[in-house]
C-alpha cells in the first residue's frame, strides 16, 4: 500500500544528500539477521563472522522487527552531510529518555512477546539506562563491524551522491526520485512510497534528506514521523563490486606511460573516490596515493571536487580513455 509525501515550494529548496556512519552500522547489524540481504555482502559476512560472534547484538535485534517500527530515536537523520560517528553517538546519548521510552515501547509492540522480555521490562522501567545501554552496543558494533571498512564504504556512498547530484541537475527532483528505487514514484509534487502501511504527510518546508546506504539493499527505508525530519534511505550504486579487490593486473601500456603507482590509482578510480578510500582499497599509504592523485589531476586525467570535509577524485574523459584503452574521441 502506498504512502504519500507532499512537497511544498520551499521543500524543493531544502532537499539534501547525507551520509551517516551510525545508520550504516544499524543496517549492518540488521543485515546479519536478514538472509535476504546477504547476496552482495557474502564476502563481508564471511570475513567478519568470527568478530561478530563476539558481540551481543540481541538488544538491537529486539528493536528491529521484520515488519514494523524501529525506534526513530535510534535512527535520527544525520546532523550534516558528512557527520562523524562521534557526533552521531553524542546526539544519541543526549536523547530525552522519556521520548526514547515511548518510541521504544511502540517498536516492542511490533514483535510478539518482546515487551514481556526481561530486557524490555528493565528498559521501560529505567529509560536513561536504556539509552546508555543501546548507545554503548551501537558504539561497539561500529568499532568492530564498520570502522575497519569505513573508508571503503564512505567512498562508495560519496560516489553515489556525486552521481545522483549530477542526475538531479539533469532531470530535477521529480525525475531523480523514481530512479533511486523501483518502489518510488513521483507525480504532481507528491512522492509515493510502496510500503506495508499507509502514511500521509506534508513536508511543510522541511525538505527531505536523501541518504544512500550500503546495507539497506534491497529495501528503501522511509522515516516520516514528526518531529523527525523526513528521510529516505535507498541502496547505493555499485555495491555489487564493493567487496571485490581491484584487479591485480594494470594494463602494461598504461604502466609504461604513467608508472606502476599512478597507473594503478587511475585504473582503480572506476567511481569517484577520496584519497583515504583509495588508499584503503589498494593497500597503499595515503601520502603515496595523494601524490599520485595530484599528478594525475595536474595532467588532466582527473578532476576533484570537495564534498564536506572530503575531496572526491574522478576520471576525466581522457583518463577514462587511457584506463580503458579506448579512444577519447
Among candidate residues 319, 243, 249, 316, the one with its CA nearest the CA of residue 281: 243
- 178-211 burial string, b = 16+ CB within 10 Å, else e? bebbebbebeeeebbbebeeeeebebeebbbbbb
User: Is the pLDDT assigned to residue 1 strictly greater than 80?
Assistant: no
What is the arithmetic mean of pLDDT over 308-318? 78
226 and 129 within one domain: yes
Three-state DSSP class for 17?
strand
Query: Which one of 189, 210, 235 terminates a domain?
Result: 235
Most confident of the following: 68-77, 128-137, 161-170, 221-230: 128-137
* Same domain as 163, residue 43: yes
> Is residue 304 situated within a structural domain?
yes
In this prediction, residue 328 carries a pLDDT of: 44
CA distance to 182, 183, 186, per residue, from 2 (Å): 13, 9, 12
pLDDT at 89 over 90: yes
58 and 180 share one domain: yes
pTM of the predicted model as reported, rounded to 2 decimal places? 0.77
Is residue 240 in some structural domain? no
In this structure, the answer to whether residues 122 and 192 fall within a common structural domain is: yes
DSSP H helices, 54-149, are: 58-61, 85-93, 97-108, 118-125, 127-141
Contacts of 290 (CB under 8 A, 6+ apart): 275
Residue 131 lies in a domain: yes
227 prior amide bond cis, ω within 30: yes
Report CA-CA distances (Å) from 47 to 79, 145, 151, 283: 31, 10, 17, 17
Percent residues over pLDDT 90 in the chain: 48
Number of domains in the chain: 2
- What cell numbers appear for 191 in the block? 512522492
The answer to the question of residue 302 being in a domain is yes
Is residue 30 a part of any domain in this protein?
Answer: yes
On the question of pLDDT at 237 being above 60, the answer is: yes
Q: What is the largest CA-CA distance in the chain?
A: 69
Domain identity same for 162 and 83: yes
Do 249 and 231 belong to one domain? no
Domain boundary among 235, 268, 302: 235
d(CA 294, CA 96): 47
Q: Does residue 329 sit within a domain?
A: no
pLDDT of residue 292: 94
E strand intervals along 214-308:
221-223, 231-235, 302-307
Domain check: are 98 and 51 in the same one? yes
- As a whole number of angstroms, the distance between CA 144 and CA 25 comes to 10
**pLDDT one-digit tens code per residue, 168-188:** 998 999 999 999 998 999 999
Give me the CATH number covering residue 266.
1.10.10.10
Residue 211 DSSP SS3: strand
Q: Residue 274 domain-assigned?
A: yes
Beta bridge partners of 236: none
Q: Residues 147-175: what's their mean pLDDT?
A: 89
Check residue 246 and give its pLDDT: 55
Instruction: Indicate if 262 and 299 belong to the same structural domain.
Output: yes
Domain of residue 314, residue span:
245-324
Relative to beta strand 2-6, strand 200-202 is parallel
Asked whether residue 88 carries a pLDDT value surpassing 50, the answer given is: yes
Residue 35 pLDDT > 50, yes or no? yes
SS3 content of the chain, % helix, strand, coil (to 5): 55, 15, 30
Whether the pLDDT of residue 247 is over 60: the answer is no
Residue 269 and residue 148 in one domain: no
Q: Is residue 124 part of a domain?
A: yes
Question: Residues 222, 255: one domain?
Answer: no
Looking at the fold, whether 111 and 227 belong to one and the same domain comes out as yes
Domain boundary among 204, 235, 266: 235
In this structure, the answer to whether residues 123 and 7 fall within a common structural domain is yes
Confidence band (pLDDT; 50, 70, 90) for 159? confident
Amino acid at each position: 500500500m502506498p504512502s504519500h509525501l507532499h512537497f511544498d515550494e520551499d521543500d524543493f529548496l531544502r532537499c539534501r544528500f547525507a551520509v551517516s556512519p551510525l545508520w550504516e552500522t544499524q543496517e549492518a547489524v540488521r543485515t546479519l539477521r536478514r538472509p535476504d540481504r546477504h547476496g552482495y555482502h557474502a564476502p563481508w559476512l564471511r570475513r567478519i563472522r568470527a568478530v561478530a560472534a563476539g558481540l551481543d547484538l540481541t538488544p538491537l535485534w529486539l528493536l528491529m522487527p521484520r515488519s514494523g517500527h524501529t525506534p526513530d530515536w535510534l535512527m535520527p537523520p544525520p546532523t550534516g552531510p558528512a557527520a562523524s560517528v562521534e557526533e552521531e553517538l553524542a546526539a544519541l546519548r543526549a536523547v530525552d529518555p522519556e521520548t526514547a521510552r515511548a518510541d521504544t515501547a511502540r517498536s516492542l509492540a511490533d514483535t510478539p512477546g518482546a515487551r514481556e522480555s526481561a530486557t524490555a521490562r528493565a528498559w521501560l522501567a529505567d529509560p536513561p539506562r536504556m539509552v546508555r545501554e543501546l548507545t554503548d552496543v551501537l558504539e561497539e558494533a561500529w568499532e568492530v563491524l564498520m570502522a575497519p571498512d569505513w573508508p571503503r564504504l564512505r567512498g562508495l556512498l560519496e560516489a553515489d551522491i556525486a552521481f545522483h547530484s549530477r542526475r538531479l541537475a539533469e532531470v530535477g527532483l521529480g525525475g531523480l526520485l523514481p530512479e533511486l528505487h523501483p518502489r518510488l514514484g513521483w507525480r504532481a509534487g507528491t512522492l509515493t512510497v510502496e510500503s506495508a502501511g499507509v502514511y500521509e504527510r506534508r513536508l511543510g518546508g522541511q525538505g527531505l534528506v536523501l541518504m544512500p546506504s550500503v546495507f539497506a539493499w534491497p529495501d528503501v527505508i522511509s522515516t516520516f514521523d514528526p518531529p523527525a525530519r523526513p528521510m529516505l534511505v535507498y541502496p547505493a550504486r555499485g555495491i555489487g563490486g564493493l567487496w571485490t579487490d581491484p584487479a591485480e593486473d594494470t594494463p602494461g601500456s598504461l604502466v609504461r606511460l604513467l608508472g606502476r603507482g599512478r597507473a594503478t590509482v587511475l585504473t582503480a578510480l572506476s567511481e569517484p573516490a577520496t584519497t583515504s578510500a583509495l588508499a584503503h582499497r589498494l593497500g597503499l599509504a595515503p601520502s603515496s596515493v595523494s601524490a599520485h592523485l595530484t599528478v594525475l589531476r595536474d595532467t588532466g586525467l582527473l578532476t576533484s571536487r570537495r564534498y564536506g570535509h572530503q575531496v572526491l577524485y574522478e576520471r576525466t574523459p581522457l583518463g577514462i580513455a587511457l584506463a580503458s584503452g579506448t579512444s577519447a574521441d
